[in-house]
Amino acid sequence: MKNRIIITTIFITSLFLGACKKTLDLNPADQIATSTFYKSKADFDEALAAVYASLQPEEFAVGMGFRDCFTDNGYNQFNSGSSKDFVQGNFNPTTGGYETGIYNDSYVGIARVNLFLQNLGNYKGSDISDAQRKVYEGEVRFIRAFFYFQLYSIYGDVPLVLQPLDLSNQKQPKVPAAQVLTQITADLDYSIANLNTAAYYANGGHAAASSAKALKARVLLFAGFGNNGTPDPAMLAQVRDLCLDLMGQYKLSTNFEDIFRDATQKNNTEIIFSINFLAPNNTTPWDLYYGDYDACAPLQNMVDAFECTDGLPYGTSPLTDTKNQFKNRDPRLAKTVYADSVYFGPGKVYHPSNLRPTGYGTIKFLEPNNMPYGFSTLSQQDAVILRLGEVMLMYAEAQNEVAGPDATVYKAMADLRARVGMPAYPAGYNKDQMRERIRHERRIELAFEGLRHYDLLRWHIAGPVLNAVKTSLINYHFEDKFYHWPLPQTEIDKSGGVLIQNPDYK
């Protein structure tokens, strides 16, 4: 008996002892080892999806309205992106928010592009044709240009990373902004030359050549104003030509609001590029943030900026009704701003759970069918990044600067305004008068689409405009150094002296 027990135990024990060293070789069950991926076209398609998805973070998509809270347009009661710190002038290399968000997430996207290009270069499989190879490259370089434009426009000089980095070469110095610009245009030129010529809405949701053209127009329009707001005619001529091209290919959406609503975004002939979402598994909280939290509250001066239906400013126009602010106003007001409650007509009312600190909220991006808005609302509205409306404004602006307010400028503006039933501009404007109207038109048409910030920077009017804001709950304070944001302090620290802070923040 005793021997039997001992023998059995020794036997069982030795089974464990014999568990060979393989016991210690374990592999994850739900992740892919790098060495086994990038073996077919399907792998590249999945990698491409992840490149596009790198556009989805808040600051590039759902937070586009929050970007307007860095301007005279809106107020973010939650200080999303540190917008309150920025407009109050308490902005420094450690502020964080979008200062680090835009920087970090741009490089995440750039890294995905660079890794994609490297792996594509190494791939020899025949299931990817040369033409397809060029389309892949064009698409990801378009996205890389988008990110570099974010960095270029906000920080100026930044590290230019075109190859995957690792621990050995991670400390990268910044390069002059001009060099970043050169890379952006090079990437976009490649995309324009190699991407499909079909319009974006007919290109299955992939960036088209026209998407790259529109982005290039925006980039050049920004770059064309230099560092002091003085336009460069040669660059603006390029902008004008790119826009003309696009205006021939795209058509305005019949209804202004259709551009931003879920059901009418698909195949919308105005959209030149959008960042897409799809419920239930790939959503972004448009309705929660704008419709329930009121995270983007239009300021009174923004509301006042909408003209009356006669085309005259609110307050000046005889149609002004101070008792009922929304009466007789540019229809885009009611399609951009809600007062107190979200109202889409009788029975389509939602009362946000949060306070409206300015008395207003942004209705532009809300989907009526998603009511009531809340935590579990699954919003899938696409973030419209480039659209014909902006292109027409860019055309008018560029043409006005290059050639003055000619008939094409008038027509572009008249067409854009006619869509919402607003009258054309009166004839006889000089260049300066037209410039003011176009700039105003941009603020109205593109309200909360995140472009106001760029505009204030490139026109070099951020100081006078922001320091004049008196209708917010906080005191605005803008200094010239804010034309370029500081690089995040953590990056300066981690680079061990390789990356140099922008001079105004040292």
Residues 376-415 that bind other proteins (CB under 8 A): 376-378, 380, 382
Cα gap 50→422, rounded to integer Å? 42
Tell me if 52 contacts other proteins by CB under 8 A.
Answer: yes
Kindly state the tokens that stand for 162.
Answer: 């075109």
Residue closest to 138 by CA, chosen among 197, 217, 61: 197
Min dist. Cβ of residue 429 to other proteins (A): 38
Contacting residue, 49, 131, 407, 427, with other proteins by CB under 8 A: 49
Tell me if 177 contacts other proteins by CB under 8 A.
Answer: no
Tell me if 424 contacts other proteins by CB under 8 A.
Answer: no
Tell me if 276 contacts other proteins by CB under 8 A.
Answer: yes
Residue closest to 391 by CA, chosen among 189, 212, 198: 212
Residue closest to 56 by CA, chosen among 146, 145, 138: 146
Tell me if 181 contacts other proteins by CB under 8 A.
Answer: no
C-alpha distances (whole Å) from 86 to each of 70, 91, 95, 97 are 7, 5, 9, 10
Tell me if 228 contacts other proteins by CB under 8 A.
Answer: no
Applying CB under 8 A, the site for other proteins has a residue count of: 104
β 297-298/74-75 pair status? antiparallel
Angle made by CA atoms 175, 84, 440, in degrees to the nearest 5: 80
Segment interacting with other proteins, rule: CB under 8 A, options 302-310, 330-338, 375-383, 424-432? 375-383
Contacting residue, 23, 126, 322, 324, with other proteins by CB under 8 A: 23
Cα gap 441→434, rounded to integer Å? 10
Task: Count Cα atoms within 13 angstroms, Cβ side, for 295.
Answer: 23
Nearer to other proteins, 61 or 396 (CB): 61
Tell me if 167 contacts other proteins by CB under 8 A.
Answer: yes
Min dist. Cβ of residue 202 to other proteins (A): 11
Contacting residue, 67, 141, 206, 216, with other proteins by CB under 8 A: 206
Min dist. Cβ of residue 435 to other proteins (A): 31
Using DSSP, state whether 264 is helix, strand or coil: helix
Q: Are 378 and 280 in contact (CB under 8 A)?
A: yes
Listed in sequence order, the residues at least 6 apart from 319 whose beta carbon sits closer than 8 Å to its beta carbon are 308, 309, 310, 312, 327, 328
Nearer to other proteins, 182 or 475 (CB): 475
Binding to other proteins (CB under 8 A) within 79-108 occurs at 84-85, 88-90, 92, 94, 100, 103-104, 107-108
Binding to other proteins (CB under 8 A) within 289-348 occurs at none
- Determine the angle formed by the axes of helices 388-403 and 407-419, rounding to 10 degrees: 160
Contacting residue, 122, 130, 204, 506, with other proteins by CB under 8 A: 204
Nearer to other proteins, 103 or 142 (CB): 103
Tell me if 463 contacts other proteins by CB under 8 A.
Answer: no
Tell me if 252 contacts other proteins by CB under 8 A.
Answer: no
Min dist. Cβ of residue 411 to other proteins (A): 33
* Number of Cβ within a 10 Å radius of residue 445: 23
Segment interacting with other proteins, rule: CB under 8 A, options 126-134, 157-165, 226-234, 441-449? 157-165
Tell me if 481 contacts other proteins by CB under 8 A.
Answer: no
Tell me if 110 contacts other proteins by CB under 8 A.
Answer: yes
Binding to other proteins (CB under 8 A) within 253-272 occurs at 265-266
Nearer to other proteins, 191 or 238 (CB): 191
Tell me if 202 contacts other proteins by CB under 8 A.
Answer: no
Tell me if 32 contacts other proteins by CB under 8 A.
Answer: yes
Q: Are 250 and 269 in contact (CB under 8 A)?
A: yes
Residue 125: enclosing H or E segment and its boundaries? none
- Determine the angle formed by the axes of helices 233-249 and 209-223, rounding to 10 degrees: 150
Cα gap 418→388, rounded to integer Å? 14
Min dist. Cβ of residue 6 to other proteins (A): 7
Beta partners for residue 282, in sequence order: 278
Contacting residue, 162, 202, 234, 278, with other proteins by CB under 8 A: 278
Contacting residue, 112, 218, 452, 484, with other proteins by CB under 8 A: 112
Tell me if 504 contacts other proteins by CB under 8 A.
Answer: no
Tell me if 161 contacts other proteins by CB under 8 A.
Answer: yes
Task: Count Cα atoms within 13 angstroms, Cβ side, for 63.
Answer: 21
DSSP conformation letters of 183-245: HHHHHHHHHHHHS--S-GGGTTTS--HHHHHHHHHHHHHHHTTTTTT---HHHHHHHHHHHHH
Contacting residue, 7, 37, 480, 500, with other proteins by CB under 8 A: 37
